[in-house]
């Protein structure tokens, strides 16, 4: 998940103009794995809203059975 982002920004080209959108998308992707969908959808417009999601609250986090750990992790565990 992070590797394409890191590869994209390892350049001498002026990439800073794309950083905000790319970081927002990456944060949203990470949060999709364990935060309830309505909270992420409510924060569609702004990274600030994403960063203000209370990750300590049980109301924000999905049940442990619904946490998305990704395909590679599932293969490694099986």
For 30-75, how does the pLDDT look when each residue is reduced to its tens digit (9 = 90+)? 898 899 999 888 887 777 888 888 999 989 999 888 888 788 888 8
Number of domains into which the chain is organized: 1
Q: How many CB atoms lie within 10 A of CB 31?
A: 18
The label of the residue with tokens 């800073």 reads 16
Between 10 and 44, the higher pLDDT residue? 10
Indicate if the alpha-carbon torsion angle 8, 40, 57, 72 is positive or negative.
Answer: negative
Residue 17's pLDDT is 92
Residue 44's pLDDT is 78
Indicate if the alpha-carbon torsion angle 19, 21, 25, 30 is positive or negative.
Answer: positive
Residue-range definition of the domain harbouring residue 23: 2-77
């Amino acid at each position: 998940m992070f590797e394409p982002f890191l590869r994209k920004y390892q350049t001498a080209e002026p990439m800073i103009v794309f950083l905000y959108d790319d970081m927002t998308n990456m944060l949203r992707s990470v949060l999709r794995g364990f935060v309830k969908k309505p909270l992420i959808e409510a924060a569609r417009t702004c990274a600030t809203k994403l960063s203000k999601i209370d990750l300590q609250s049980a109301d924000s986090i999905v049940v442990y059975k619904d946490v998305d750990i990704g395909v590679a992790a599932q293969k490694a565990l099986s």
